[in-house]
Amino acid sequence: MMLPTSKIFIAGHNGLVGSALVRKLKEKGFDNLLLKNRSELDLTNQHSVEVFFAHEKPEYVFLAAAKGGGIHANSTHPSESISSNMQVQMNIINESWKYKVKKMLFLGSSCIYPKYAPQPMNEDSLLSGKLEPTNEAYALAKIAGIKQV
């Protein structure tokens, strides 16, 4: 059970979902949030993430960090998208396991579902058809993270 004194790492705390998590946790009295921006912690750097986990020893991890960028960025730089997102996910998931965090929440995205998934989407639709080509690299990285967890 998360207590207000629990050490909680929110990777991606400046993004849309991460910032909402920070607000809600603070509203509920959680004050031991581990929040690091990109200049303080490069989540793509395995050694930096390992040092952070060794020093801070988070008990709970919310993995909301991701390199997005929209249709144009995802279409024109797919290698950058898949590489960056998979590095971040692998580093945080591996260190969470290694340091035995109590719970880790990995956030996916609706784009991980096939382009023509039945609506409303159902978890059973995952990997049942072709992805939207404009964000395929991002979606594949997210799917790999789900499988890793």
Transcribe 120-141 into DSSP letters: S--GGGTTSSPPPGGGHHHHHH
CATH number at residue 27: 3.40.50.720
The range of the structural domain enclosing residue 59 comes to: 8-148
Please choose, from the candidates 54, 80, 66, the residue with its C-alpha nearest in 3D space to the C-alpha of residue 10: 66
* Segment among 54-58, 60-64, 77-81, 141-145 with least mean pLDDT: 77-81
Query: pLDDT digit string (tens) for 62-86?
Result: 999 998 777 777 778 888 889 999 9
Residue 92 located in a structural domain: yes
113 is catalytic: no
The answer to whether residue 76 sits within a structural domain is yes
Nearest to 71 by CA among 137, 125, 17: 137
Residues 60, 113, 116, 138: which is the catalytic one? 138
In a domain? residue 105: yes
Q: Is residue 124 part of a domain?
A: yes
Q: Is there a domain that residue 3 lies in?
A: no
Measured CA to CA, the distance from residue 47 to residue 49 in angstroms comes to 5
Q: What is the pLDDT of residue 91?
A: 98
Q: Kindly report, residue by residue over 92-114, the tens digit of the pLDDT.
A: 999 999 999 999 999 988 999 99
> Has residue 47 been placed in a domain?
yes
Q: Is-above-0.85 flag for pTM? A: yes
Q: Find the mean pLDDT for residues 126-137.
A: 93
Domain membership of residue 1 (yes or no) is no
Give domain status of residue 2, yes or no.
no
**What is the C-alpha R_g of the chain?**
16
Instruction: Please tell me the total count of domains within the chain.
Output: 1
